[in-house]
Amino acid sequence: MDKNEELINLAHRRYATKKYDPNKHITDKDWATIMEVARLSPSSMGFEPWQFLLIENKDLKQAMYDDAWGAQHSFDGADKFVVILARKDMDVNSPHIKHMSEDVQGHPFDVHSAFSKKIIDFQENDFQLNTSRELFDWTSKQTYIPLANMMSAAAALDIDSCPIEGFNRANIDRILADHNAFDPKKWGVSVMVSFGYRDQEITPKKRQPMEAVYRVIK
C-alpha cells in the first residue's frame, strides 16, 4: 500500500466511537505518543492557548455525566477522557504571552514593541477579537487542531476516539472549576475527546462528494 492509500485508509479508520470496550486499555507508550502529537500542534503565533486535562477521577466524571450528554457513551467505556481547555487571558498584556515569547520562543518581550503592536493590530482589526468571548472563541478554535491531530494519531495506532461538543459549557466549566481543575478567569472548556477501543463495527463514512466541498478558484 502506498502512503496516499494508507492516509485515506486512516481517514476511514477514524470514526466517532459510540460504544467502547471498558476492559481494553491504551498502553502508556501509545498514550504518550498521542499527547506528544497534541503538544507539537501548531497555534496562532505559536502561543499554544490550550491545556489538556486527562480526567481520571470517577466522582468528577459522575458529576459531569448529566451535563455532558454527548460524552455519556465515552464515560461508560473509554479508557481516556480528555477535556481540552482554551485560554481566556490572551491579550498582549497577558503574562502567558510574555512567558511564551521569552521562555519558550526565546525572544525578549515588550508590550510596546513592533511585535506587540502587530499582535494588537491582528486581534483588534484583522480578526476583530474585541470581547472576551471573541478572544475565547479564537483560542477555542485553535484547540481543534490538537484535537484532530490526536484523533488521527490514535487511528494510526489502531485506537478509537470520539470528539465531543455535546455538553453544557457553563455547567461543565463550573463543575471543573469547583473541582479546582482550573481558574475560570483564565480558562474555559473548549471541547472534549475520548479514546479507547471500540465494542462495535467501524461505521462507514457518509460524506458529501468532493465537488460539493472543494472548488478551485482560478
Ligand X SMILES: Cc1cc2nc3c(=O)[nH]c(=O)nc-3n(C[C@H](O)[C@H](O)[C@H](O)COP(=O)(O)O)c2cc1C
The residue among 84 and 119 lying less far from ligand X, judged by its C-beta, is 84
Contact pattern from residue 2 through residue 41 relative to ligand X, giving x for each residue in contact according to CB under 6 A and a dash for the rest = -------------xx-x-----------------------
Number of residues lying near ligand X (CB under 6 A) = 11
The residue among 144 and 182 lying less far from ligand X, judged by its C-beta, is 144
Among 43, 44, 70, 184, binds ligand X (CB under 6 A): 70
Least Cα distance to 187 among 37, 102, 83, 66 occurs for 83
Does position 92 interact with ligand X (CB under 6 A)? The reply is: no
The residue among 91 and 199 lying less far from ligand X, judged by its C-beta, is 199
Secondary structure, 3-state, the chain: CCHHHHHHHHHHHCCECCCECCCCCCCHHHHHHHHHHHHCCCCHHHCCCEEEEECCCHHHHHHHHCCCHHHHHHHCCCCEEEEEEEECCCCCCCHHHHHHHHHHCCCCCCCCCHHHHHHHHHHHHHCCCCCHHHHHHHHHHHCHHHHHHHHHHHHHCCCEEEEECCCCHHHHHHHHHHCCCCCCCCEEEEEEEEEECECCCCCCCCCCCHHHHCCCCC
Contact pattern from residue 187 through residue 206 relative to ligand X, giving x for each residue in contact according to CB under 6 A and a dash for the rest = ----------------x-x-
The residue among 49 and 163 lying less far from ligand X, judged by its C-beta, is 163
To which residue does cell 471498558 refer? 22
Contact pattern from residue 132 through residue 171 relative to ligand X, giving x for each residue in contact according to CB under 6 A and a dash for the rest = ------------------------------xxxxx-----
Least separation in angstroms between residue 30's CB and ligand X is: 20
Least separation in angstroms between residue 178's CB and ligand X is: 22
Least separation in angstroms between residue 177's CB and ligand X is: 21
Q: In terms of DSSP bridges, do strands 80-87 and 187-196 run parallel, antiparallel, or are they unpaired? A: antiparallel
Closest-by-Cβ residue to ligand X is 70
Least separation in angstroms between residue 20's CB and ligand X is: 11
Cβ(92)–Cβ(119) under 8 Å?
yes
Give the residues lining the site for ligand X (CB under 6 A).
15-16, 18, 70, 162-166, 203, 205
